A and B are shown apart, each in its own frame.
Chain A
Protein backbone atom coordinates (compact mmCIF):
# COMPACT_ATOMS: atom_id res chain seq x y z
CA UNK A 1 0.00 0.00 0.00
CA UNK A 2 1.32 3.42 -0.92
CA UNK A 3 1.96 5.86 1.88
CA UNK A 4 -0.73 8.37 2.64
CA UNK A 5 1.64 11.30 2.49
CA UNK A 6 2.32 10.59 -1.17
CA UNK A 7 -1.22 11.61 -1.93
CA UNK A 8 -0.55 15.14 -0.76
CA UNK A 9 3.14 15.75 -1.56
CA UNK A 10 4.30 16.63 -5.05
CA UNK A 11 6.39 13.98 -6.77
CA UNK A 12 10.12 14.33 -6.97
CA UNK A 13 11.17 16.27 -10.03
CA UNK A 14 14.59 16.40 -11.59
CA UNK A 15 16.87 19.32 -10.86
CA UNK A 16 16.55 21.22 -14.15
CA UNK A 17 13.69 23.73 -13.90
CA UNK A 18 12.19 23.10 -17.37
CA UNK A 19 12.08 19.38 -16.81
CA UNK A 20 10.55 19.73 -13.39
CA UNK A 21 7.89 21.98 -14.84
CA UNK A 22 7.08 19.40 -17.52
CA UNK A 23 7.16 16.57 -15.02
CA UNK A 24 4.62 18.39 -12.85
CA UNK A 25 2.26 19.44 -15.60
CA UNK A 26 -0.57 16.91 -16.02
CA UNK A 27 -1.13 18.11 -19.57
CA UNK A 28 2.40 17.38 -20.78
CA UNK A 29 2.56 14.14 -18.84
CA UNK A 30 -0.66 13.08 -20.55
CA UNK A 31 0.79 13.92 -23.99
CA UNK A 32 3.95 11.99 -23.09
CA UNK A 33 1.91 9.00 -21.90
CA UNK A 34 -0.13 8.86 -25.12
CA UNK A 35 3.01 9.33 -27.25
CA UNK A 36 4.75 6.53 -25.34
CA UNK A 37 1.80 4.18 -25.93
CA UNK A 38 1.77 5.02 -29.66
CA UNK A 39 5.55 4.47 -29.91
CA UNK A 40 5.22 1.13 -28.12
CA UNK A 41 2.43 0.08 -30.52
CA UNK A 42 4.57 1.21 -33.46
CA UNK A 43 7.55 -0.82 -32.24
CA UNK A 44 5.46 -3.89 -31.47
CA UNK A 45 3.42 -3.67 -34.68
CA UNK A 46 6.49 -3.23 -36.83
CA UNK A 47 8.77 -5.90 -35.45
CA UNK A 48 6.76 -8.47 -33.49
CA UNK A 49 3.07 -8.54 -34.40
CA UNK A 50 1.45 -10.86 -36.91
CA UNK A 51 0.45 -8.55 -39.80
CA UNK A 52 -2.85 -10.44 -40.13
CA UNK A 53 -3.93 -9.16 -36.71
CA UNK A 54 -2.09 -5.93 -35.99
CA UNK A 55 -0.37 -3.16 -37.89
CA UNK A 56 1.66 -0.25 -36.47
CA UNK A 57 -0.03 3.19 -36.19
CA UNK A 58 1.94 4.53 -39.17
CA UNK A 59 0.47 1.81 -41.40
CA UNK A 60 -3.01 2.63 -40.05
CA UNK A 61 -2.55 6.31 -40.99
CA UNK A 62 -1.40 5.23 -44.43
CA UNK A 63 -4.43 2.93 -44.78
CA UNK A 64 -6.69 5.82 -43.80
CA UNK A 65 -5.57 7.69 -46.92
CA UNK A 66 -5.22 4.76 -49.30
CA UNK A 67 -8.28 2.64 -48.47
CA UNK A 68 -10.71 4.61 -46.30
CA UNK A 69 -10.89 8.24 -47.40
CA UNK A 70 -10.24 7.32 -51.05
CA UNK A 71 -13.20 4.92 -51.19
CA UNK A 72 -16.34 6.96 -51.98
CA UNK A 73 -18.57 4.17 -50.65
CA UNK A 74 -16.88 4.15 -47.24
CA UNK A 75 -16.92 7.95 -47.08
CA UNK A 76 -20.65 8.00 -47.85
CA UNK A 77 -21.22 5.31 -45.19
CA UNK A 78 -19.40 7.53 -42.67
CA UNK A 79 -21.48 10.54 -43.71
CA UNK A 80 -24.64 8.49 -43.33
CA UNK A 81 -23.47 7.53 -39.84
CA UNK A 82 -22.96 11.21 -38.96
CA UNK A 83 -26.47 12.02 -40.27
CA UNK A 84 -28.00 9.18 -38.24
CA UNK A 85 -26.27 10.36 -35.06
CA UNK A 86 -27.41 13.97 -35.64
CA UNK A 87 -31.06 13.03 -36.24
CA UNK A 88 -31.17 10.52 -33.36
CA UNK A 89 -29.58 13.03 -30.99
CA UNK A 90 -31.88 15.85 -32.11
CA UNK A 91 -34.91 13.66 -31.47
CA UNK A 92 -33.52 12.53 -28.10
CA UNK A 93 -33.06 16.15 -26.99
CA UNK A 94 -36.51 17.33 -28.11
CA UNK A 95 -38.49 14.38 -26.73
CA UNK A 96 -36.21 13.89 -23.72
CA UNK A 97 -36.58 17.49 -22.53
CA UNK A 98 -40.33 17.49 -23.24
CA UNK A 99 -40.98 14.24 -21.35
CA UNK A 100 -38.59 15.33 -18.62
CA UNK A 101 -40.52 18.58 -18.11
CA UNK A 102 -43.83 16.68 -17.93
CA UNK A 103 -42.52 14.06 -15.50
CA UNK A 104 -40.70 16.61 -13.36
CA UNK A 105 -43.54 19.15 -13.29
CA UNK A 106 -45.10 18.28 -9.93
CA UNK A 107 -44.17 16.30 -6.87
CA UNK A 108 -46.91 13.81 -7.67
CA UNK A 109 -45.90 13.25 -11.31
CA UNK A 110 -42.32 12.69 -10.17
CA UNK A 111 -43.32 10.15 -7.53
CA UNK A 112 -45.63 8.35 -9.95
CA UNK A 113 -43.73 8.44 -13.25
CA UNK A 114 -40.04 8.75 -12.39
CA UNK A 115 -39.69 5.13 -11.14
CA UNK A 116 -41.16 3.93 -14.46
CA UNK A 117 -38.52 5.93 -16.38
CA UNK A 118 -35.73 4.60 -14.15
CA UNK A 119 -36.98 1.04 -14.59
CA UNK A 120 -37.07 1.40 -18.38
CA UNK A 121 -33.59 2.96 -18.29
CA UNK A 122 -32.25 -0.04 -16.36
CA UNK A 123 -33.30 -2.60 -18.98
CA UNK A 124 -30.45 -3.63 -21.31
CA UNK A 125 -31.86 -2.25 -24.54
CA UNK A 126 -29.44 -4.26 -26.60
CA UNK A 127 -31.73 -7.27 -26.18
CA UNK A 128 -34.28 -5.41 -28.33
CA UNK A 129 -31.80 -4.72 -31.12
CA UNK A 130 -32.86 -7.59 -33.44
CA UNK A 131 -36.50 -6.53 -32.93
CA UNK A 132 -35.70 -2.91 -33.82
CA UNK A 133 -33.98 -4.10 -37.01
CA UNK A 134 -36.97 -6.33 -37.77
CA UNK A 135 -39.40 -3.41 -37.40
CA UNK A 136 -37.39 -0.62 -39.03
CA UNK A 137 -35.44 -2.62 -41.61
CA UNK A 138 -31.77 -2.61 -42.47
CA UNK A 139 -31.56 1.06 -43.44
CA UNK A 140 -30.85 4.23 -41.47
CA UNK A 141 -34.30 4.28 -39.79
CA UNK A 142 -33.38 1.39 -37.47
CA UNK A 143 -30.11 3.03 -36.47
CA UNK A 144 -31.81 6.35 -35.77
CA UNK A 145 -34.51 4.59 -33.72
CA UNK A 146 -31.94 2.65 -31.70
CA UNK A 147 -29.79 5.73 -31.10
CA UNK A 148 -32.87 7.68 -30.07
CA UNK A 149 -34.10 5.02 -27.64
CA UNK A 150 -30.65 5.03 -26.01
CA UNK A 151 -30.14 8.79 -25.94
CA UNK A 152 -33.52 9.86 -24.58
CA UNK A 153 -33.30 8.25 -21.12
CA UNK A 154 -30.33 10.08 -19.54
CA UNK A 155 -31.84 13.37 -20.79
CA UNK A 156 -35.23 12.66 -19.17
CA UNK A 157 -33.59 11.48 -15.94
CA UNK A 158 -31.34 14.52 -15.62
CA UNK A 159 -34.09 17.01 -16.49
CA UNK A 160 -36.29 15.49 -13.78
CA UNK A 161 -33.39 15.42 -11.31
CA UNK A 162 -32.66 19.07 -12.04
CA UNK A 163 -36.26 20.07 -11.40
CA UNK A 164 -36.43 17.96 -8.25
CA UNK A 165 -33.33 19.40 -6.63
CA UNK A 166 -34.57 22.97 -6.30
CA UNK A 167 -33.73 24.36 -2.88
CA UNK A 168 -36.84 24.77 -0.73
CA UNK A 169 -35.38 28.08 0.47
CA UNK A 170 -35.41 29.51 -3.06
CA UNK A 171 -38.99 28.39 -3.65
CA UNK A 172 -40.17 29.89 -0.40
CA UNK A 173 -38.24 33.08 -1.07
CA UNK A 174 -39.86 33.46 -4.47
CA UNK A 175 -43.33 32.69 -3.09
CA UNK A 176 -43.03 35.10 -0.20
CA UNK A 177 -42.07 37.85 -2.66
CA UNK A 178 -45.32 37.18 -4.49
CA UNK A 179 -44.10 35.16 -7.48
CA UNK A 180 -46.79 33.32 -9.42
CA UNK A 181 -46.51 29.68 -10.34
CA UNK A 182 -45.37 30.66 -13.87
CA UNK A 183 -42.79 33.04 -12.38
CA UNK A 184 -41.40 30.32 -10.17
CA UNK A 185 -41.05 27.92 -13.09
CA UNK A 186 -39.51 30.58 -15.32
CA UNK A 187 -37.12 32.18 -12.82
CA UNK A 188 -36.37 29.51 -10.22
CA UNK A 189 -36.94 25.99 -11.49
CA UNK A 190 -35.67 26.33 -15.08
CA UNK A 191 -32.38 28.14 -14.26
CA UNK A 192 -31.78 25.62 -11.48
CA UNK A 193 -32.19 22.80 -14.00
CA UNK A 194 -29.52 23.99 -16.46
CA UNK A 195 -26.37 22.27 -15.06
CA UNK A 196 -28.20 18.98 -14.65
CA UNK A 197 -29.76 19.34 -18.11
CA UNK A 198 -26.31 19.64 -19.65
CA UNK A 199 -25.11 16.55 -17.77
CA UNK A 200 -28.06 14.77 -19.35
CA UNK A 201 -27.26 16.15 -22.79
CA UNK A 202 -23.67 14.92 -22.46
CA UNK A 203 -24.67 11.42 -21.32
CA UNK A 204 -27.40 11.41 -23.96
CA UNK A 205 -24.80 12.02 -26.64
CA UNK A 206 -22.61 9.18 -25.33
CA UNK A 207 -25.55 6.77 -25.38
CA UNK A 208 -26.85 7.96 -28.77
CA UNK A 209 -23.42 7.21 -30.20
CA UNK A 210 -23.54 3.78 -28.54
CA UNK A 211 -26.99 2.97 -29.93
CA UNK A 212 -26.16 4.04 -33.49
CA UNK A 213 -22.80 2.24 -33.51
CA UNK A 214 -24.34 -0.96 -32.05
CA UNK A 215 -26.99 -1.06 -34.76
CA UNK A 216 -24.42 -0.20 -37.44
CA UNK A 217 -22.23 -3.10 -36.38
CA UNK A 218 -25.16 -5.51 -36.04
CA UNK A 219 -26.43 -4.82 -39.58
CA UNK A 220 -23.44 -6.15 -41.46
CA UNK A 221 -25.03 -6.08 -44.92
CA UNK A 222 -24.54 -2.36 -45.44
CA UNK A 223 -23.03 0.79 -44.02
CA UNK A 224 -20.04 0.95 -41.72
CA UNK A 225 -20.76 -2.47 -40.22
CA UNK A 226 -20.34 -4.10 -43.63
CA UNK A 227 -16.85 -2.67 -44.10
CA UNK A 228 -15.67 -3.54 -40.59
CA UNK A 229 -16.80 -7.11 -41.22
CA UNK A 230 -15.10 -7.28 -44.63
CA UNK A 231 -11.80 -5.95 -43.27
CA UNK A 232 -11.92 -8.22 -40.20
CA UNK A 233 -12.79 -11.33 -42.20
CA UNK A 234 -10.00 -10.67 -44.70
CA UNK A 235 -7.49 -10.24 -41.86
CA UNK A 236 -6.76 -6.75 -43.11
CA UNK A 237 -6.27 -4.86 -39.84
CA UNK A 238 -4.78 -1.58 -41.15
CA UNK A 239 -7.94 -0.29 -42.90
CA UNK A 240 -10.09 -1.78 -40.10
CA UNK A 241 -8.18 0.22 -37.46
CA UNK A 242 -8.30 3.28 -39.72
CA UNK A 243 -12.09 2.99 -40.13
CA UNK A 244 -12.60 2.46 -36.39
CA UNK A 245 -10.33 5.41 -35.61
CA UNK A 246 -12.29 7.65 -37.99
CA UNK A 247 -15.51 6.65 -36.21
CA UNK A 248 -13.84 7.33 -32.85
CA UNK A 249 -12.81 10.78 -34.09
CA UNK A 250 -16.44 11.40 -35.15
CA UNK A 251 -17.57 10.33 -31.67
CA UNK A 252 -15.02 12.63 -30.01
CA UNK A 253 -16.14 15.49 -32.27
CA UNK A 254 -19.80 15.06 -31.25
CA UNK A 255 -18.88 14.80 -27.56
CA UNK A 256 -16.73 17.93 -27.75
CA UNK A 257 -19.57 19.96 -29.31
CA UNK A 258 -21.81 19.09 -26.35
CA UNK A 259 -19.04 19.73 -23.81
CA UNK A 260 -18.14 23.12 -25.30
CA UNK A 261 -21.83 24.08 -25.41
CA UNK A 262 -22.09 23.05 -21.77
CA UNK A 263 -19.10 25.11 -20.68
CA UNK A 264 -20.19 28.24 -22.53
CA UNK A 265 -23.94 28.11 -21.82
CA UNK A 266 -23.97 27.05 -18.17
CA UNK A 267 -24.50 30.09 -15.94
CA UNK A 268 -21.74 30.64 -13.42
CA UNK A 269 -19.19 29.00 -15.75
CA UNK A 270 -19.21 25.77 -13.80
CA UNK A 271 -16.83 23.45 -15.64
CA UNK A 272 -18.24 20.06 -16.57
CA UNK A 273 -17.25 17.60 -13.86
CA UNK A 274 -15.13 14.84 -15.25
CA UNK A 275 -14.82 12.58 -12.25
CA UNK A 276 -17.92 10.46 -11.63
CA UNK A 277 -19.45 11.61 -14.88
CA UNK A 278 -21.19 8.24 -15.18
CA UNK A 279 -22.02 7.59 -11.58
CA UNK A 280 -24.36 10.53 -11.26
CA UNK A 281 -26.67 9.29 -13.95
CA UNK A 282 -28.88 7.03 -11.88
Chain B
Protein backbone atom coordinates (compact mmCIF):
# COMPACT_ATOMS: atom_id res chain seq x y z
CA UNK B 1 0.00 0.00 0.00
CA UNK B 2 1.55 3.25 -1.12
CA UNK B 3 1.36 6.52 0.76
CA UNK B 4 -1.59 8.13 -1.04
CA UNK B 5 -3.85 5.10 -0.66
CA UNK B 6 -2.76 4.84 2.98
CA UNK B 7 -3.80 8.43 3.62
CA UNK B 8 -7.12 8.01 1.78
CA UNK B 9 -7.78 4.91 3.93
CA UNK B 10 -7.06 6.97 7.01
CA UNK B 11 -9.55 9.61 5.82
CA UNK B 12 -12.17 6.87 5.50
CA UNK B 13 -11.45 5.54 8.98
CA UNK B 14 -11.49 9.10 10.30
CA UNK B 15 -14.90 9.61 8.71
CA UNK B 16 -16.20 6.43 10.34
CA UNK B 17 -14.73 7.46 13.71
CA UNK B 18 -16.18 10.95 13.32
CA UNK B 19 -19.64 9.55 12.58
CA UNK B 20 -19.44 7.20 15.55
CA UNK B 21 -18.12 10.00 17.78
CA UNK B 22 -20.88 12.36 16.68
CA UNK B 23 -23.43 9.64 17.39
CA UNK B 24 -21.99 9.07 20.87
CA UNK B 25 -21.66 12.78 21.73
CA UNK B 26 -25.11 13.74 20.42
CA UNK B 27 -26.76 11.10 22.57
CA UNK B 28 -24.49 11.55 25.62
CA UNK B 29 -25.14 15.28 25.82
CA UNK B 30 -28.84 14.76 25.19
CA UNK B 31 -28.97 17.26 22.32
CA UNK B 32 -30.84 14.72 20.20
CA UNK B 33 -34.00 13.05 21.42
CA UNK B 34 -33.46 9.43 22.45
CA UNK B 35 -36.49 8.62 20.30
CA UNK B 36 -34.74 9.66 17.08
CA UNK B 37 -31.24 8.49 17.91
CA UNK B 38 -30.67 6.17 20.88
CA UNK B 39 -27.14 5.86 22.33
CA UNK B 40 -24.85 3.34 20.59
CA UNK B 41 -24.66 1.16 23.69
CA UNK B 42 -28.45 0.83 23.83
CA UNK B 43 -28.60 -0.17 20.16
CA UNK B 44 -25.82 -2.71 20.65
CA UNK B 45 -27.49 -4.36 23.65
CA UNK B 46 -30.81 -4.37 21.78
CA UNK B 47 -29.14 -6.04 18.80
CA UNK B 48 -27.47 -8.67 20.99
CA UNK B 49 -30.79 -9.39 22.70
CA UNK B 50 -32.57 -9.45 19.37
CA UNK B 51 -30.40 -12.06 17.64
CA UNK B 52 -31.02 -14.45 20.54
CA UNK B 53 -34.78 -14.46 19.98
CA UNK B 54 -36.60 -16.88 17.74
CA UNK B 55 -38.82 -14.09 16.43
CA UNK B 56 -35.74 -12.44 14.93
CA UNK B 57 -34.68 -15.49 12.96
CA UNK B 58 -38.18 -16.28 11.78
CA UNK B 59 -38.56 -12.70 10.50
CA UNK B 60 -35.19 -12.94 8.73
CA UNK B 61 -36.25 -16.29 7.27
CA UNK B 62 -39.52 -14.83 5.96
CA UNK B 63 -37.69 -11.94 4.27
CA UNK B 64 -34.89 -14.16 2.92
CA UNK B 65 -37.30 -16.67 1.41
CA UNK B 66 -39.43 -13.87 -0.08
CA UNK B 67 -36.36 -12.30 -1.66
CA UNK B 68 -35.17 -15.70 -2.92
CA UNK B 69 -38.52 -16.54 -4.54
CA UNK B 70 -38.87 -13.08 -6.09
CA UNK B 71 -35.29 -13.09 -7.36
CA UNK B 72 -35.50 -16.54 -8.93
CA UNK B 73 -38.75 -15.56 -10.67
CA UNK B 74 -37.21 -12.33 -11.97
CA UNK B 75 -34.07 -14.20 -13.02
CA UNK B 76 -35.90 -16.79 -15.09
CA UNK B 77 -38.42 -14.44 -16.71
CA UNK B 78 -35.94 -11.57 -17.14
CA UNK B 79 -33.15 -13.58 -18.77
CA UNK B 80 -35.54 -15.55 -20.96
CA UNK B 81 -37.45 -12.47 -22.13
CA UNK B 82 -34.25 -10.46 -22.57
CA UNK B 83 -32.55 -13.20 -24.58
CA UNK B 84 -35.56 -13.73 -26.85
CA UNK B 85 -35.87 -9.98 -27.51
CA UNK B 86 -32.13 -9.65 -28.19
CA UNK B 87 -32.31 -12.16 -31.06
CA UNK B 88 -33.96 -9.69 -33.42
CA UNK B 89 -32.90 -6.11 -34.06
CA UNK B 90 -36.50 -5.10 -34.71
CA UNK B 91 -37.64 -6.58 -31.41
CA UNK B 92 -34.88 -4.73 -29.56
CA UNK B 93 -35.84 -1.45 -31.24
CA UNK B 94 -39.53 -2.05 -30.51
CA UNK B 95 -39.57 -3.50 -27.00
CA UNK B 96 -36.43 -2.18 -25.30
CA UNK B 97 -37.70 1.44 -25.08
CA UNK B 98 -40.95 0.17 -23.56
CA UNK B 99 -39.10 -1.72 -20.81
CA UNK B 100 -36.60 1.09 -20.10
CA UNK B 101 -39.40 3.66 -20.19
CA UNK B 102 -41.48 1.71 -17.69
CA UNK B 103 -38.41 1.33 -15.46
CA UNK B 104 -38.14 5.11 -15.03
CA UNK B 105 -41.62 5.12 -13.43
CA UNK B 106 -41.43 4.07 -9.77
CA UNK B 107 -42.96 0.57 -9.79
CA UNK B 108 -43.78 1.31 -6.14
CA UNK B 109 -46.81 3.17 -7.50
CA UNK B 110 -48.36 -0.15 -8.39
CA UNK B 111 -47.77 -1.63 -4.94
CA UNK B 112 -51.43 -1.09 -3.86
CA UNK B 113 -52.44 -3.21 -6.85
CA UNK B 114 -50.15 -6.02 -5.74
CA UNK B 115 -51.78 -5.86 -2.31
CA UNK B 116 -55.20 -5.93 -3.97
CA UNK B 117 -54.35 -8.95 -6.13
CA UNK B 118 -52.18 -11.00 -3.78
CA UNK B 119 -53.19 -9.90 -0.27
CA UNK B 120 -50.95 -8.66 2.55
CA UNK B 121 -49.07 -11.99 2.87
CA UNK B 122 -45.70 -12.81 1.30
CA UNK B 123 -47.30 -13.41 -2.12
CA UNK B 124 -47.67 -9.72 -2.86
CA UNK B 125 -44.07 -9.05 -1.83
CA UNK B 126 -42.79 -11.87 -4.06
CA UNK B 127 -44.72 -10.48 -7.04
CA UNK B 128 -43.65 -6.90 -6.29
CA UNK B 129 -39.96 -7.76 -5.81
CA UNK B 130 -39.96 -9.94 -8.92
CA UNK B 131 -41.56 -7.19 -11.01
CA UNK B 132 -39.04 -4.62 -9.82
CA UNK B 133 -36.04 -6.89 -10.38
CA UNK B 134 -37.29 -8.01 -13.79
CA UNK B 135 -36.47 -4.64 -15.37
CA UNK B 136 -32.70 -4.33 -14.76
CA UNK B 137 -32.21 -8.03 -15.47
CA UNK B 138 -34.13 -7.94 -18.77
CA UNK B 139 -32.54 -4.63 -19.85
CA UNK B 140 -29.01 -5.83 -19.15
CA UNK B 141 -29.67 -9.19 -20.82
CA UNK B 142 -30.82 -7.34 -23.94
CA UNK B 143 -27.79 -5.05 -23.78
CA UNK B 144 -25.45 -8.01 -23.21
CA UNK B 145 -26.62 -10.12 -26.14
CA UNK B 146 -27.74 -7.44 -28.62
CA UNK B 147 -24.57 -5.33 -28.49
CA UNK B 148 -22.30 -8.29 -29.28
CA UNK B 149 -19.49 -7.47 -31.71
CA UNK B 150 -20.60 -8.89 -35.06
CA UNK B 151 -16.93 -9.54 -35.97
CA UNK B 152 -16.64 -12.20 -33.29
CA UNK B 153 -19.79 -13.99 -34.43
CA UNK B 154 -18.72 -13.87 -38.07
CA UNK B 155 -15.25 -15.11 -37.20
CA UNK B 156 -16.69 -17.99 -35.18
CA UNK B 157 -19.10 -18.86 -37.97
CA UNK B 158 -16.43 -18.73 -40.65
CA UNK B 159 -14.23 -21.02 -38.59
CA UNK B 160 -17.05 -23.53 -38.64
CA UNK B 161 -18.41 -23.22 -35.14
CA UNK B 162 -21.84 -24.73 -34.72
CA UNK B 163 -24.64 -22.95 -32.88
CA UNK B 164 -23.90 -24.49 -29.52
CA UNK B 165 -20.19 -23.76 -29.80
CA UNK B 166 -20.86 -20.14 -30.77
CA UNK B 167 -23.26 -19.78 -27.86
CA UNK B 168 -20.88 -21.42 -25.40
CA UNK B 169 -17.57 -19.86 -26.50
CA UNK B 170 -18.56 -16.50 -28.04
CA UNK B 171 -21.98 -15.30 -26.89
CA UNK B 172 -21.78 -16.36 -23.25
CA UNK B 173 -18.28 -15.07 -22.39
CA UNK B 174 -18.99 -11.81 -24.21
CA UNK B 175 -22.33 -11.29 -22.49
CA UNK B 176 -21.46 -12.38 -18.94
CA UNK B 177 -19.99 -9.13 -17.56
CA UNK B 178 -22.97 -6.99 -18.61
CA UNK B 179 -25.37 -9.77 -17.65
CA UNK B 180 -23.88 -9.99 -14.16
CA UNK B 181 -24.17 -6.24 -13.67
CA UNK B 182 -27.88 -6.66 -14.34
CA UNK B 183 -28.10 -9.62 -11.95
CA UNK B 184 -26.36 -7.65 -9.19
CA UNK B 185 -28.51 -4.55 -9.62
CA UNK B 186 -31.58 -6.76 -9.90
CA UNK B 187 -30.75 -8.51 -6.64
CA UNK B 188 -30.31 -5.34 -4.63
CA UNK B 189 -33.45 -3.78 -6.15
CA UNK B 190 -35.27 -7.01 -5.26
CA UNK B 191 -33.98 -6.86 -1.67
CA UNK B 192 -34.86 -3.18 -1.26
CA UNK B 193 -38.32 -3.57 -2.78
CA UNK B 194 -39.17 -6.59 -0.62
CA UNK B 195 -38.05 -4.64 2.47
CA UNK B 196 -40.06 -1.62 1.28
CA UNK B 197 -43.14 -3.73 0.59
CA UNK B 198 -42.88 -5.28 4.04
CA UNK B 199 -42.52 -1.85 5.61
CA UNK B 200 -45.54 -0.40 3.79
CA UNK B 201 -47.96 -3.27 4.24
CA UNK B 202 -47.39 -6.80 5.50
CA UNK B 203 -47.76 -9.15 8.44
CA UNK B 204 -44.21 -10.51 8.86
CA UNK B 205 -40.60 -10.00 7.87
CA UNK B 206 -37.72 -7.62 8.61
CA UNK B 207 -39.40 -4.56 7.05
CA UNK B 208 -42.55 -5.19 9.06
CA UNK B 209 -40.51 -5.31 12.27
CA UNK B 210 -38.79 -1.99 11.51
CA UNK B 211 -42.18 -0.36 10.95
CA UNK B 212 -43.63 -2.05 14.05
CA UNK B 213 -40.83 -0.97 16.40
CA UNK B 214 -41.19 2.57 15.02
CA UNK B 215 -44.94 2.51 15.70
CA UNK B 216 -44.33 1.18 19.21
CA UNK B 217 -41.70 3.91 19.78
CA UNK B 218 -38.91 1.47 20.63
CA UNK B 219 -35.90 3.28 19.14
CA UNK B 220 -33.36 0.79 20.54
CA UNK B 221 -34.92 -2.18 18.81
CA UNK B 222 -35.70 -0.22 15.67
CA UNK B 223 -32.05 0.82 15.34
CA UNK B 224 -31.01 -2.76 16.04
CA UNK B 225 -33.12 -3.93 13.08
CA UNK B 226 -31.86 -1.08 10.88
CA UNK B 227 -28.22 -1.78 11.72
CA UNK B 228 -28.77 -5.45 10.95
CA UNK B 229 -30.12 -4.53 7.50
CA UNK B 230 -27.27 -2.07 6.90
CA UNK B 231 -24.59 -4.61 7.89
CA UNK B 232 -26.18 -7.35 5.77
CA UNK B 233 -26.43 -5.12 2.72
CA UNK B 234 -22.83 -3.97 3.05
CA UNK B 235 -21.65 -7.59 3.30
CA UNK B 236 -23.81 -8.66 0.36
CA UNK B 237 -22.57 -5.72 -1.72
CA UNK B 238 -18.94 -6.57 -1.05
CA UNK B 239 -19.60 -10.23 -1.93
CA UNK B 240 -21.38 -9.27 -5.15
CA UNK B 241 -18.58 -6.92 -6.21
CA UNK B 242 -15.82 -9.45 -5.59
CA UNK B 243 -17.85 -12.11 -7.42
CA UNK B 244 -18.37 -9.78 -10.36
CA UNK B 245 -14.66 -8.89 -10.48
CA UNK B 246 -13.82 -12.59 -10.55
CA UNK B 247 -16.17 -13.05 -13.54
CA UNK B 248 -14.60 -10.04 -15.28
CA UNK B 249 -11.08 -11.23 -14.65
CA UNK B 250 -11.65 -14.60 -16.26
Contact = CB atoms under 8 A, between A and B. Distances in A.
B163 A3 contact: yes
A254 to B, nearest CB: 9
Q: Which of A24, A33, A131, A255 has most chain B Cβ within 10 Å?
A: A131
Contact of B8 (A53, A108, A124): A108
A277 B100 CA distance: 8
B167 A1 contact: yes
Contact of B136 (A127, A134, A279): A279
Given A126-B192, A130-B211, A206-B106, A214 B117 contact: no
A276 B117 CA distance: 31
Contact of A24 (B4, B90, B167, B182): B90
Interface string A206-243: 10011001100110000000001101100101001100
A169 interface: no
Main secondary structure of the interface of B (DSSP, over half): helix
A279 B112 contact: no
Interface in B81-98: 84, 86-90, 93-98
Interface residues of A, number: 67
A133 B211 CA distance: 10
B231 to A, nearest CB: 10
Given A4-B166, A133-B214, A206-B106, A275 B143 contact: yes
10 contacts: A3-B163, A4-B157, A26-B90, A122-B188, A124-B233, A127-B229, A134-B214, A135-B36, A218-B211, A274-B100
Contacts of B12: 112, 115-116
Contacts of B153: 4
B237 interface: yes
Given A124-B195, A124-B229, A111 B112 contact: no
Contacts of B95: 30, 33
A3 B163 CA distance: 8
B35 A134 contact: yes
Contacts of B36: 131, 134-135
Interface stretch (A5-13, A69-77, A171-179, A190-198): A5-13
A8 B150 contact: yes
Contact of B237 (A8, A122, A244, A275): A122
B207 interface: yes
B234 interface: yes
Which has the most chain B C-beta neighbours within 10 Å: A107, A125, A127, A130? A127
A119 B102 CA distance: 27
A111 B206 CA distance: 34
Interface stretch (A93-101, A245-253, A261-269): A245-253
A129 B139 contact: no
A228 B109 CA distance: 10
Contact of B234 (A123, A135, A214, A278): A123
